[in-house]
Amino acid sequence: MLSSTITIAKAPGKWVVRAGGAVIGETENALELIEEGVSPVIYFPRDDIEMAFLEPSETVSVSPEKGRAMHYAVVAKSGAIPDIAWSYEEPSEATERVRGYIAFRTGEKVAVEQI
């Protein structure tokens, strides 16, 4: 089995995450996880996210390369957006740097942008 190459670096500049029309996080301390064959993902420090908007879900995913991730729904005025965020509570050695950080699946209801 081939394992992918993972690189984690400080994301330059200021980043914001918007969900359901509300800004739920803003940081200058984001990390960018780059994995071979996958679009880069921005991780926000938990301290820079309005955790009142996040509700833990029962979804847990496990990746041999990244570790065990807990998932979250974002609760917005427009309703809950299920399993839209995740955090590696038990990261692998390769992703230990993102422990305590949260990433978001972007799309129609969630945007992660550099500002």
Can you read off the two tokens belonging to residue 106?
A: 């972007």
pLDDT in tens, 44-55: 999 999 999 999
The pLDDT of residue 22: 87
Separation CA 102–CA 86 (nearest Å): 6
SS (H, E, C) the chain: CCCCCEEEEECCCCEEEEECCEEEEEECCCEEEEECCCCCEEEEEHHHECHHHEEEEEEEEEECCCEEEEEEEEEECCEEEEEEEEEEEEECHHHHHHCCEEEECCCCCEEEEEC
Weakly modelled stretches of the chain, pLDDT under 50: 1-2
Residue 104: what pLDDT? 97
Q: Which residues pair with 26 in a beta bridge?
A: 16
CA distance 1 to 17: 35
Q: What is the pLDDT of residue 3?
A: 54
pLDDT at residue 84, as a whole number: 95
